[in-house]
Amino acid sequence: MLRYLIRRLLAAAAILLVITVITFVIFFALPSDPALLACGKTCSPSRLAEIKHSLGLDQSFLTQFWEFFKGLFAGRDFGDQSVRVHCGTPCLGISFQTDTPVLSTLLGDFPADLSLGLGAAVFFLILGVGLGTLAAVRRGRAADKAAVGLALLGVSVQIYFVGLLLLYLFVDKWQILPASGYTPLTQDPGAWFQGLILPWATLVIVYLALYTRLTRSSMLEVFAEDYMRTARAKGLSAVKVVLKHGLRAAITPIITIFGMDVGSLIGGSAVITESVFGINGIGKLAVDSVQNSDLPVILGTTLFAATFVVLANVVVDVVYGLVDPRVRLA
The CA distance from 171 to 177, in Å, is 5
43 binds other proteins, rule: CB under 8 A:
yes
Q: Which of 12, 15, 54, 177 binds other proteins (CB under 8 A)?
A: 54
Interaction between residue 190 and other proteins (CB under 8 A): no
| Dist. CA 282–CA 292, nearest whole Å | 15
Minimum distance between the CB of residue 130 and other proteins, rounded to whole angstroms?
21
CA dist 24 and 183 (Å) reads 34
Do 265 and 305 form a contact (C-beta atoms < 8 A)? no
Q: Which of 30, 237, 220, 18 minimizes the C-alpha distance to 133? A: 220
Q: Which of 56, 253, 278, 321: binder of other proteins (CB under 8 A)?
A: 278
Q: Does 198 bind other proteins (CB under 8 A)?
A: no
Distance CA 10, CA 140 (A): 47
On the CB side of 133, CA atoms within 13 Å amount to 21
Q: Count residues near other proteins (CB under 8 A).
A: 61
Q: Which is nearer to other proteins, 7 or 229 (CB)?
A: 229
Which one, 155 or 183, has the nearer CB to other proteins? Answer: 183
Pick the stretch among 155-163, 193-201, 204-212, 219-227 that binds other proteins (CB under 8 A): 219-227
Q: Which is nearer to other proteins, 261 or 317 (CB)?
A: 317
* Closest by CA position to 284, among listed 130, 108, 22: 108
Cβ 66 to other proteins, closest distance in Å? 22
Q: Which stretch binds other proteins (CB under 8 A): 18-26, 40-48, 114-122, 305-313?
A: 40-48
Residue 85's DSSP bridge partners are 78
Q: Does 235 bind other proteins (CB under 8 A)?
A: yes
Confirm or reject binding of residue 234 to other proteins (CB under 8 A).
yes
For other proteins, the binding residues in 64-93 under the rule CB under 8 A are 78-85
Helix 61-74 vs helix 2-29: angle between axes, to the nearest 10 degrees? 140
**Going by C-beta distance under 8 Å and a sequence separation of 6 or more, which residues neighbour residue 246?**
133, 219, 222, 223, 228
Among 9, 14, 152, 179, binds other proteins (CB under 8 A): 179
Specify the residue, 115 or 293, whose C-beta has the smaller distance to other proteins. Answer: 293
- If one asks whether residue 111 binds other proteins (CB under 8 A), the answer comes out as no
Residue 77, classed as helix, strand or coil, is strand
Inter-residue contact 298 to 289 (CB < 8 Å):
yes
- Does 143 engage in binding with other proteins (CB under 8 A)? no
DSSP 3-state assignment of 94? strand
Side-chain-side CA neighbours of 211 within 13 Å: the count stands at: 29
Q: How far apart, in whole angstroms, are the C-alpha atoms of residue 95 and residue 92?
A: 9
Q: Does 16 bind other proteins (CB under 8 A)?
A: no
Query: Does residue number 31 form part of the binding site for other proteins (CB under 8 A)?
Result: yes
Residue of 67, 118, 220, 232 that binds other proteins (CB under 8 A): 232
Interaction between residue 181 and other proteins (CB under 8 A): yes
DSSP state of 139: T
State the minimum distance, in angstroms, from the CB of residue 212 to other proteins: 23
Inter-residue contact 235 to 102 (CB < 8 Å): no
Residue 283 neighbours by CB under 8 Å, 6+ apart: 113, 268, 269, 270, 271, 272, 273, 274, 275
- Which window, 26-34, 62-70, 122-130, 313-321, contacts other proteins (CB under 8 A)? 26-34
Binding site for other proteins (CB under 8 A): 31-33, 36-48, 50-51, 53-54, 78-85, 94, 98-100, 105, 108, 179, 181, 225-227, 229-237, 245, 248-249, 278, 280, 285, 291-293, 323-326
